[in-house]
Amino acid sequence: MQAYLIRRTLQAIPLLLILSILLFLLVRAAPGGPLAQAERNPNISVVQLQQLRERLGLDQPLYVQYGKWMRAIVVDRDLGNSIKSNRPVAEMIGERVPNTLLLVGVAFGLTLLIAIPLGALSARHQYSWFDYTVTTLTFAGQSVPIYWLGLMAILLFYVWLDNPFSGGPLLPVGGMYSLGGKRTVGDLLWHMILPVGTLCLAWIAWYSRFFRASMVEVFNADYIRTARAKGLAEQRVTYVHALRNAIMPLVTMIALDLPTMFAGALFVETIFSWPGMGRLFWDAARGRDYPVLLGVILINAGLIVVANLIADLLYATIDPRVKYK
Amino acid sequence: MHNSVGERQAQSLRALTLRRFLRHRAALLSLAILALMVLSALVAPLSPYEPTAQNPANDLQPPSAIHWFGTDDLGRDVLTRVLYGGRISILVGLLATLLSTAIGVIVGALAGYFGGWLDNLLMRVTDAFLSLPTLFVLILISTMLREVPALSLSNSVAVVIIVIAVLSWMWPARLVRGAFLSLKEHEFVTAAHAVGVGHGRIMWQHILPNTVSLIIVQATLTIAFSIITESGLSYLGFGIQPPTPSWGNLLATAQAYALRAPWLMIFPGLMIFITTLAVNHIGDGLRDAFDPFSVR
């Protein structure tokens, strides 16, 4: 067991290495790299360009640049400075992470709270009208682009529906707090309804469908037949025996799904002006602020690798059937 | 002797697959809808309006008999732009899938067939690509590529196709690798080796045809992914660049006019939704049809 845990952890190292090389090459060797803007600027002379290249260390061999880049990230936690604001990228990201975590955390918690019972009920009453409705809706939900869902939410709750008391729009569609207002928890929650709701709708479709499939598979297992044969109530079979086993594949699914979740956050933060990492990335991309773009990607990629590692380790610990070889 | 079981066995696998697909009503309906989408995109030039002809005096008109989907902020006919946008969006979806599937099949086949260090290396690279936050990297690459003067803006369609393919080949690769791993142990492969057939011929002519059904079903998923990704990227401003319309960049301008012209947000998104839904249903139907254990 311990050997497995150690080996699995060590396996993450070559992955991180390949990943970092990929990202490094992307930025340094690809066309349109760090000097593209300067090169096109007629006010910058060839000599100045050369100085800039030396100052940024771009005249050194690639592997030296890579080594320095890695050292700065790992040892100094230095992701470079923003081209636009000249602030440290690590600091800029650090400010935004809590906002993204709040949005994604609440949305994902709600998603699981709704999707698991939905999937379980659907699987238990397979081929009933309830199952049919849920399956149809979730299939449709998987085909809706999340940004259009957000736009339709704006249309419904901001443009069409009015607040019966003030006559203004029913729900706010921008930022975390009302402009000029006090930063209260109530105001925050009020602003969270639409972004969180959009993410939830999109995610529930995927997770309830996945969980339904997972439950259906478990229902065919021998131990479920045994549980039924020994006369346990169907309730107990479903919610104790089956549910616990069906939840396990969810752990892996969540880790694998992290890139999609980050993408969802980027769209929702952009649409609803939520000051998180995704919005920071979008703003930086429009300003071609490469150090910020790369910093956000590095952090996200690192999170994905770590999440997959944790999922595997967790799976090995909670599922005694996993063989540690 | 005529009994139903005998008749069923007498059918070729292809006929059986086709019959099972034809019984999947949602898939058939979806096929019809998709055909309609493609057809309407093809006949877009029949529209009396030009997709990029501006008419500021006629801006933000609500849907009417003259402009079925209304007009946008520059007085352009939205229906015409949606039809032309469909050309781009569907084209990107298909070509990106073709490229992505080609890369995936080659990587997966090599890894699964030869195994060993090659498999190890290719799968680590696949894992690395799967660990990338896809959308963020898409945005980064398309921003960078657009800074290269040699690739002019008019090439943004090619840029988007390549970028989507480069970030979606991993799923077909894993699938094909798995299929090759198990198929290469079969007798027909051993027999081919025994009579001296080369590796290349065994891979592409003996094993690959057996994985076609898997690849096709995966490709439908990739088409849906590509269409949603292209429109998302274009919506954010990093995909197809205006004035060339795509379903995604039509939505991008729409948000600013949410209050004055809400119809601008509805139609392009509806097209993305319907197309993706149809493609997913077709994929579902194909999966059932190809499944030898399906009861349909």
The nearest alpha carbon in chain B to A159 belongs to B259
For residue A38 the two structure tokens come to 């300067």
The nearest alpha carbon in chain B to A301 belongs to B132
As for the ipTM of the complex, it is 0.86
* pLDDT of res. A79: 81
Rg, chain A, Cα only? 24
* pLDDT of res. B150: 64
Would you call A143 an interface residue with chain B, using a CB distance cutoff of 8 Å? yes
For residues B215 and B209, what is the distance between their CA atoms, to the nearest angstrom? 10
For residue A215 the two structure tokens come to 């439950």
Please list, in sequence order, all residues whose beta carbon lies within 8 angstroms of the beta carbon of residue B263, skipping any fewer than 6 positions away.
B62, B63, B69, B70, B78
Of A65-79, B127-141, B214-228, the range with the lowest mean pLDDT is A65-79
Which element (helix H / strand E) includes A164?
none
Rg, chain B, Cα only? 23
Report CB contact under 8 Å: B259, A270: no
Tell me which residue in B129, B149, B280 faces A139 most closely, judged by beta carbons.
B280
* pLDDT of res. B294: 59
Report CB contact under 8 Å: A266, B149: no
Q: What is the pLDDT of residues B85-111, one digit of tens each?
A: 999 999 999 999 999 999 999 999 999
* pLDDT of res. B9: 55
> Cα distance from B198 to chain A (closest Cα, Å)?
32
For residues A88 and B20, what is the distance between their CA atoms, to the nearest angstrom? 60
Averaged pLDDT for residues B22-47: 87
Mutation target among B119, B137, B140 for the A interface, most CBs of A within 10 A: B140
Q: What is the pLDDT of residues B109-132, one digit of tens each?
A: 999 999 999 999 999 899 889 888
Q: What is the pLDDT of residues B36-56, one digit of tens each?
A: 999 988 888 887 787 777 777
Tell me which residue in A36, A147, A301 faces B232 most closely, judged by beta carbons.
A147
Would you call A322 an interface residue with chain B, using a CB distance cutoff of 8 Å? no
Checking B16-23 for CB contacts under 8 A at 24+ apart, the result is B17/B213, B17/B289, B17/B290, B18/B289, B20/B288, B20/B289, B20/B294, B20/B296, B21/B285, B21/B286, B21/B288, B21/B289, B23/B296
Q: What is the pLDDT of residues B147-188, one digit of tens each?
A: 766 665 556 888 899 999 999 999 999 999 999 999 998 999
Would you call A244 an interface residue with chain B, using a CB distance cutoff of 8 Å? no
More confident residue, B147 or B24: B24
Q: List C-alpha distances in Å: B179 to B42, B175, B182.
A: 37, 6, 6
User: Tens place of pLDDT for every residue, chain A, 325 residues?
Assistant: 778 778 888 888 888 888 888 888 877 755 545 566 666 677 777 788 788 777 777 777 878 888 888 888 888 888 878 877 888 989 999 999 999 999 999 999 999 999 999 999 999 888 899 999 999 999 999 999 999 999 999 988 888 888 777 777 888 888 888 877 778 888 888 899 999 999 999 999 999 999 999 999 888 888 888 888 888 888 888 888 888 888 888 888 888 888 889 999 999 999 999 999 999 999 999 888 888 888 899 889 988 888 888 888 888 777 777 665 4
For residues A145 and A267, what is the distance between their CA atoms, to the nearest angstrom? 10
E-strand ranges in A53-148 read none
Please list, in sequence order, all residues whose beta carbon lies within 8 angstroms of the beta carbon of residue B164, skipping any fewer than 6 positions away.
B92, B96, B100, B138, B225, B226, B229, B230
Residue count (chain A): 325
More confident residue, B269 or A82: B269
* pLDDT of res. A69: 80
Report CB contact under 8 Å: B224, A256: no
For residues B138 and B166, what is the distance between their CA atoms, to the nearest angstrom? 9
For residues A258 and A277, what is the distance between their CA atoms, to the nearest angstrom? 14
* pLDDT of res. B153: 52
Averaged pLDDT for residues B219-246: 91
Q: Which amino acid is at A27?
A: V
- pLDDT tier for residue B195 given thresholds of 50, 70 and 90: very high
Tell me which residue in B140, B266, B269 faces A297 most closely, judged by beta carbons.
B140
* pLDDT of res. B1: 42
Chain A stretch 267-296, residues whose beta carbon is closer than 8 A to a beta carbon of chain B: 267, 270-271, 281-282, 285-286, 288, 290, 293-294, 296
Percentage helix, strand, coil for chain A under 3-state DSSP, each rounded to 5: 75, 0, 25
The yes-or-no verdict on residue B73 having pLDDT over 80 is: no
A304 within 8 A of A297, measured Cβ to Cβ: no
Please list, in sequence order, all residues whose beta carbon lies within 8 angstroms of the beta carbon of residue B154, skipping any fewer than 6 positions away.
B244
A270 contacts in B (CB within 8 Å)?
236
